[in-house]
Structure 1
Amino acid sequence: MPPVDREQRAQRILDAAARLFAHYGYDKTTVDEIAREAGVSKGAIYLHWPGKEALAEALLYREVRCVIEDFLQRLEADPEGGTIGSIYRHGLQATFANPLVRAVLSSDNRVLGDYLHRLGPDFYRMRFEAARALIERMQAADLIRRDLSPEVVTYLLTMLGLGLSTASGLLPAEVRPPPGEVAEALADVVQRALAPEGGGDREAGKRLVRAYVAEVTQRYEELRGLRRDVDDGQPSDSG
């Protein structure tokens, strides 16, 4: 099969998995069902991935890349982009526009079930450490006030995001305000609480975020390459 056709088939399989995971959840979705939804044989899926867990990882990687691209586009188009408030607002809006990434960041077991348990605490610790590294750089660039430790700032921002995720899952739709209004309000709170006087250099903030995203993406690509090398030749998981 030509590389272009192979890639198109892989994307079709990932699209099918995304629909089924969002509707039925990871645990209740089998490889057979994904194959039927994608219009391919079960064996075709195993030509791309050793099993459902590896497929889910590839899907989440694709969706995270989409969220990152959406976030950067929003940030670049915003005249206020580059301040801590705008970075937080656009990050929330891009994340919550993607149901699978939102499920991971909010630990939504309904969508990703056992897969989230397999990620374990190390995954969330890595996320926290990566966020803290960005906060440290923003403080060094005078985009966030320095009288708070980066650990405290990172924890506060994490709490806000998790609280928003939890509230949206627990409260009935008729009492929830529109997500855009919530993101705007939270961004205003973050800007007032954490930004230095004057808000900081917006263009410097954009440059910092672009460089940081490129660095993190490259590191993750290298990690995925190592994991693929380890997975080659391994037996597939069940499902």
Structure 2
Amino acid sequence: MSESRYLERGERILDAAAELVLRWGYRRVTIDEVAKLAGIGKGTVYLHFKTREALFLAVLIRDSLGLFDQMIAAIQADPAELLPHRQARRVYLGVMGRPLLRAMFSRDSDVLGALAHETSIARLTEMKLDLTGELYGLLREHGLVRTDLDIPAQQYALGAIQTGFYLVDPMMAGKHELDLESRADALATVIRNCVEVAGTPDPDLLRALASKIIALFEQLRLVMVAGMHGTPPKGD
């Protein structure tokens, strides 16, 4: 089978798995049902994904890659998008528009079940923390973020703030309701006031940093892509 056909089949499997997990939740979806919806045999699914957990992790990774691509394109178009408050706003809007990512960020056990606590998801989170650590190191070096807290403390504070925005809606039902854009704007304001240095950044500095920041994103993107579909078998 050619690589293109192999990858196309892998995408059909991921499409089927994503549709079913949103419809029924992770606990109820079986490989048999994924195979049936994708129009292939059960054994073919295992040619791509060795376990059920690996399949659904790949579904989450694919959604994450779509968000990464949006962020890279945004920084290429406007280097100011590399600033933490702009990134936080874009990530929030991207996650809220992707039900599976929203379930992952909020640890929604109804949708993801035990997968929400899988070691593999924890590893994905760890890689993203490593990325933000390098990102904040660059921004601190060039005077774009505050240095009164060390990087781990800043990451903790930012994680707590962002997680709160993903979890707070049910608690606010019927009170102070905001549309999605207004919530994203509120998050951006909090992040800017929390970690960024006051003032307008030098556009030349932002342009100079953009390629370095994009390289960090692309490095993590390659790690996430690696092995998502497995290795195409040789021959037809």
TM-score class, shorter: 0.7 to 0.9
Structure 1 residues 178, 95: CA separation in 2 closer, same or farther (over 3 Å shift)?
Answer: same
- 1:17 is aligned to 2:21: no
- 1:8 is aligned to 2:8: yes
Aligned counterparts of 1:204 and 1:8: Cα–Cα separation in 2: 38
2:139 maps to 138
Counterpart of 1:195 in structure 2: which amino acid? Answer: E
2:234 maps to none
1:234 maps to none
Instruction: State the identity %.
Output: 27
Tell me the SS of whatever aligns to 1:153: helix
Say what the alpha-carbon RMSD is for the aligned residues: 2.9
Shift of 1:30: 0.7
Aligned counterparts of 1:122 and 1:2: Cα–Cα separation in 2: 33
Tell me the SS of whatever aligns to 2:103: helix
Aligned counterparts of 1:33 and 1:72: Cα–Cα separation in 2: 35
Decide which moves more: 110-119 or 74-83.
74-83
Aligned length: 228
Decide which moves more: 62-71 or 165-174.
165-174
Counterpart of 1:10 in structure 2: which amino acid? Answer: G
Asked whether the equivalents of residues 57 and 121 of structure 2 are also in contact (C-alpha less than 8 Å), the reply is no
Per-residue Cα deviation, 1:24-56 (whole angstroms, up to 9, x for no partner): 111111111111222222122122222211211
2:183 maps to 182
Q: When the two structures are superposed, what TM-score results if normalisation uses the length of structure 2?
A: 0.82
Aligned counterparts of 1:80 and 1:133: Cα–Cα separation in 2: 18
2:50 maps to 50
2:105 maps to 105
Aligned counterparts of 2:29 and 2:121: Cα–Cα separation in 1: 24
Structure 1 residues 165, 115: CA separation in 2 closer, same or farther (over 3 Å shift)?
Answer: same
Shift of 1:184: 1.3
Tell me the SS of whatever aligns to 2:118: helix
1:214 maps to 218
Structure 1 residues 114, 131: CA separation in 2 closer, same or farther (over 3 Å shift)?
Answer: same
Decide which moves more: 49-58 or 202-211.
202-211
Q: Which runs of 5+ in 1 are unaligned?
A: 230-239
Aligned counterparts of 2:8 and 2:175: Cα–Cα separation in 1: 40
1:86 maps to 86
Per-residue Cα deviation, 1:59-89 (whole angstroms, up to 9, x for no partner): 2222211110122223444474232221221
Tell me the SS of whatever aligns to 1:40: coil
1:237 maps to none
Aligned counterparts of 1:125 and 1:166: Cα–Cα separation in 2: 20
Q: When the two structures are superposed, what TM-score results if normalisation uses the length of structure 1?
A: 0.81
Decide which moves more: 137-146 or 80-89.
80-89
1:38 maps to 38
Aligned counterparts of 1:206 and 1:171: Cα–Cα separation in 2: 37
Per-residue Cα deviation, 1:142-182 (whole angstroms, up to 9, x for no partner): 22122222122111111111111111355448864112211
Counterparts of 1:122-161 in structure 2 under 5 Å?
122-123=122-123, 124-161=125-162
Aligned counterparts of 2:192 and 2:174: Cα–Cα separation in 1: 28
1:233 maps to none
Counterpart of 1:182 in structure 2: which amino acid? Answer: R
Asked whether the equivalents of residues 18 and 59 of structure 2 are also in contact (C-alpha less than 8 Å), the reply is yes
Decide which moves more: 135-144 or 172-181.
172-181
Structure 1 residues 204, 79: CA separation in 2 closer, same or farther (over 3 Å shift)?
Answer: closer
2:198 maps to 197
2:69 maps to 69
Tell me the SS of whatever aligns to 2:56: helix
Aligned counterparts of 2:192 and 2:14: Cα–Cα separation in 1: 37
